[in-house]
Amino acid sequence: MRIEIVGARSIPDSREKPTIETTLRSGELEAKASVPSGKSTGAHEAKELRDEDGSVSTALSNVTGEIAEAISTREFASTKELDAFLIELDGTPDKSRLGANAILSVSISATRLFALQAGVPLWRYLADTYGTTPSAPRLFVNVMNGGAHAGFRLPIQEHIFMVGEATLTESFATAERGFAELGEMLKSETDDLQMGDEGGYSPAFADFDKPFELLTKLVEKHQNTAIAIDSAANELRNDHGGYTLIGKDYTSEELRKLYVDLVGKFPFHAVEDPFAETDSKSFTELTADIGKQVLVIGDDITVTNPKRIENAIEEKSMNAVLIKPNQIGSVSEAAEAVKKTHSAGWATVCSHRSGETDDTFIADFAYGMGAHGIKAGGLGQKVRREKYERLCSIEKEVTI
């Protein structure tokens, strides 16, 4: 397929931060994609290219200039071929020359074009191209935002209502009911209630257990649900090599015991980034402690990088991996990360970012890859809801 870059422009993400939207064309077919950005990021993520003023002007110029010129004279048979070409064109290990955001916007747009050319839904093209088995993911709904996403009003960055009903439509309905019910509970608990970056409620509780007590009430009310958290522990690291939560310092060992106690006390399904990315030993110890009961998910420590995931597998430092395409910068490498994780018998959870757009690619990717779950934020923002709604649409496509 011959691909032409029609254009690229800067659009605001959900945090009003500039990001890239790229439009591609092949004959009569046209597709576009916009890419998200994260606030709490891992040190080893592929490099998002931003100018000193925070704009994406250079990245846009790379899309409409060097990348457009390079791909315009070639034929590509698949996303795999295109991604391999773009990675070679960039020539750096972290995509810092052309920008991971620039490359990913082209990669996702092209994937949509290839799906249109094949006459199949996007999720089906992804599954066929990368040899995965599509399945419905569980919904990991970030109902209470804390950490860097909400001015540390709560120390834990994400308090998640996990829903795994028989169908995605039922799961989304349960998530909506739970989100509304939690809102009413929070209103009765506090007058200081805000909304966080990811469309979840953001209360301020001095009692560390309070959010889990409220979530437990939801879980007890709704079958096929559980609690999950993303500690984003890079953000909790203190100057003494330990961690600080609500003004109290913890060693790695003390924090590990805190998680063990939480999982024993409340109906947990998963714990993500319980320690900083440099604290892999603690990951391994916690996985040995609770890995048979819950998922221990790596994010900042693995950053959707197949090589880092391979290291984690060797160290047995987790039993699940978060997958964020913009951490690695191409669809094909994100798919490789999924397959590497699944080959170890581990679960994957595909995820949005805190700075999101209305692009729903992550929903098709999660379904097509056969991911265990999807994180797309809370239900208080349109750009978050759209991902869950796309999953419900996919379910209808499957049954047609």
**Active site residue ranges:** 198, 324
3-state secondary structure 325-360: HHHHCCHHHHHHHHHHHHHCCCEEEEECCCECCCCC
93 Cβ neighbours under 8 A, 6+ residues apart: none
Spatial distance between the Cα atoms of 385 and 377, rounded to a whole number of angstroms: 8
14 Cβ neighbours under 8 A, 6+ residues apart: 197, 354, 355, 356, 357, 381, 383
Spatial distance between the Cα atoms of 186 and 183, rounded to a whole number of angstroms: 5
Rounded to an integer, what is the distance from CA 222 to the centroid of its chain? 25
| Rg for the chain, CA atoms, rounded | 20
Per the CB < 8 A criterion, the answer to whether 216 and 210 are in contact is no
- Nearest one of 334, 339, 296 to 315, comparing CA atoms: 296
Cα 137–Cα 283–Cα 324 angle in degrees, nearest 5: 40
Tell me how long the chain is. Answer: 400
C-alpha dist (Å) from residue 249 to 244, 288, 311, 348? 4, 24, 29, 31
Place of tokens 């996403």: 149
